[in-house]
A = this chain, B = another copy of it.
Amino acid sequence: MGRNRPTRYEHLADDMADAIAAGLLKPGDALPSVRQTCQQRGISPSTVFQAYGVLEARGLIEARPRSGYYVRPQRPPARRVPRAAVPRAEATAVAVSALAFELLESTRQPDVVPLGSAFPAPHLFPLDALARSGARAMRRLKPTQITSALTVGDAGLREALRRRYALQGVALGEDELVITHGALEALNLCLQAVTQPGDVVAVESPTFYSALQTLERLGLRAVEVATDPQLGVDVDALAALLARQRVAACWFMPTLHNPLGALMPPARKQALVALLARHGVPLIEDDVYGELYADLRRPPPARAFDTQGLVLHCASFSKCLAPGYRVGWAAAGRWAPAVQRLKMMSTLATSLPPQLAIADYLAQGGYDRHLRQLRAALATEQQRARRVIERHFPSGTRVTQPAGGYFLWLELPPHVDALALHHRAMAQGISTAPGVLFSADRRFTHHLRLNVGHPGDTRVDAALRLLGEWAAG
């Protein structure tokens, strides 16, 4: 039942995606025929069809009737995806929280168009069904559950999560999971478990500002690793870094990275985990967007390739099921006992009512159906919003094409001051997430992260158009 490596078809799909990304297969090129590929790799036709199906779903290739598969035309040059940034080699101290705090405050105001928000539209979630589940679960609460759930969390919810991990090919130890107040608490606890103040932590470039804030709060230093907007962390660059300096931990988002949307192919995740195992460096894997993939099946987490207990896998229900419930978790590998103790010292235990509501909801069996609907809604809206952006932003703008999630990352022409653009937009009731938030040393000055997870919000198109006009100056 356990599956700790990519399947054959995933391997094939990854190889093809890598070849396309590297320009070895160009737009309009025909892919090797199914029969040819079967012979070359010694695999069955159905495996090849599966792989090509995945690439088609990702928008990388297209089937032409009675002709075969072809690499899809790419966006015109003006719409290319952003380039990988070249990060500084030195570790830097971190101070981005003031701007992030301002951004969060704007998220609280319902009259602000939430392009800077970190959350998709709340109407995308089954709030009524969760409320019914919560009411049912709390009616049935046995008083002893209050103490028995202390620190590690409700046994039923932990068991349900373990089952979901097992279906993804990840076998967790029985006592490994700790339920937390959102993934952010899980990440904080895991980071604290594996570091001492002053340590250096490797992060992606760009990286999620909350990671930078957590580093700031714990007195850690960040060193950024080059990150491809589609394929994620550059494993060779990381290898060079590890050869040169002591790194206490990596904090990466290998699946649907925030803000890039990058999705590391399984083989690349496997190489990452193998590299870290050779150096004995723990990986804190932030996987909060893992359920929001646009592919046919869930991408395996890096954790799926871990045989050493070195990957501390953190996730939550906040972005895929129950925003505001603040229910997340850590599967912290060999650090699970340390994380449990830190949890006891910082918030003692996770609030029980939201845990029980979600456990009941999962038991009702509608979760995967909800996820399918959510993924479809987000994918459709992403396509739509990208078309609006392509129409209204100045030429020279590059936009990511993420394989899921609800963020787009824009590289504007270099002369555009994205922070000034953000302030101008805020004054008009439109929030954005300016690029400087996503780096410890305030690079990404002409970049924006835009939240396109608000289907049906009629203010979005006008806001995108205005942003484009202001960016054009």
Chain A interface residues toward B at CB < 8 A? 97, 100-101, 104, 107-110, 114, 117, 119, 121-123, 127-128, 130-131, 134-135, 138-139, 141, 143-151, 181-182, 184-185, 188, 192, 197, 210, 213-214, 216-217, 219, 323-327, 340-342, 344-354, 357
Q: A214-B345, A324-B351 are in contact. Are A127 and B101 (CB under 8 A)?
A: no
When distances are taken between beta carbons in the complex, the residues of chain B under 8 Å from A325 are 351-353
Q: A122-B143, A347-B182, A353-B354 are in contact. Are A107 and B150 (CB under 8 A)?
A: yes
When distances are taken between beta carbons in the complex, the residues of chain B under 8 Å from A107 are 147, 150
Give the complex CA separation of A141 and B134 in angstroms.
Answer: 13
When distances are taken between beta carbons in the complex, the residues of chain B under 8 Å from A219 are 197
Q: A348-B326, A353-B353 are in contact. Are A141 and B119 (CB under 8 A)?
A: no
Per a CB cutoff under 8 Å, which of B344, B351, B354 touches A104?
B344
When distances are taken between beta carbons in the complex, the residues of chain B under 8 Å from A127 are 138, 141, 143
Given contacts A130-B138, A192-B217, A197-B197, 16 further A-B contacts (CB under 8 A): A97-B341, A97-B345, A104-B151, A108-B148, A110-B148, A122-B146, A128-B139, A181-B326, A185-B346, A213-B344, A217-B346, A324-B353, A326-B352, A346-B346, A352-B354, A353-B354
A345 and B134 contacting across the interface, CB-CB below 8 Å? no
Give the complex CA separation of A219 and B445 in angstroms.
Answer: 36
Give the complex CA separation of A344 and B402 in angstroms.
Answer: 27
**Could you give 19 example pairs across A and B, Cβ below 8 Å?**
A97-B341, A104-B344, A114-B147, A123-B143, A127-B141, A127-B143, A134-B135, A134-B353, A145-B324, A181-B181, A181-B351, A184-B346, A188-B345, A188-B346, A197-B197, A210-B348, A324-B353, A325-B351, A326-B348
When distances are taken between beta carbons in the complex, the residues of chain B under 8 Å from A354 are 351-354
When distances are taken between beta carbons in the complex, the residues of chain B under 8 Å from A324 are 145-146, 149, 349, 351-353
B144 and A122 contacting across the interface, CB-CB below 8 Å? yes
Give the complex CA separation of A327 and B350 in angstroms.
Answer: 10
A213 and B141 contacting across the interface, CB-CB below 8 Å? no
Give the complex CA separation of A372 and B147 in angstroms.
Answer: 24
Q: Which of A104, A127, A348 has the most chain B CB atoms inside 10 A of its CB?
A: A348
* Nearest CB in chain B to that of A119: its residue: B147
Q: How far is the CB of A468 from chain B (nearest CB, A)?
A: 25
Give the complex CA separation of A341 and B108 in angstroms.
Answer: 15
Per a CB cutoff under 8 Å, which of B131, B145, B184 touches A141?
B131
Per a CB cutoff under 8 Å, which of B123, B217, B327 touches A342?
B217
Give the complex CA separation of A220 and B98 in angstroms.
Answer: 25
Give the complex CA separation of A128 and B110 in angstroms.
Answer: 34
Q: Which of A117, A119, A214, A341 has the most chain B CB atoms inside 10 A of its CB?
A: A341
* Nearest CB in chain B to that of A138: its residue: B131
Give the complex CA separation of A197 and B108 in angstroms.
Answer: 33
When distances are taken between beta carbons in the complex, the residues of chain B under 8 Å from A192 are 217
Give the complex CA separation of A325 and B349 in angstroms.
Answer: 9
A357 and B353 contacting across the interface, CB-CB below 8 Å? yes
Q: How far is the CB of A243 from chain B (nearest CB, A)?
A: 31
Per a CB cutoff under 8 Å, which of B210, B351, B357 touches A327?
B351
B143 and A135 contacting across the interface, CB-CB below 8 Å? no
A147 and B135 contacting across the interface, CB-CB below 8 Å? no
Can you list the 5 inter-chain pairs with the closest CB atoms, starting with the nearest?
A135-B135, A122-B143, A131-B138, A146-B324, A324-B352
When distances are taken between beta carbons in the complex, the residues of chain B under 8 Å from A346 are 184-185, 188, 214, 217, 346
Per a CB cutoff under 8 Å, which of B139, B184, B350 touches A348?
B184
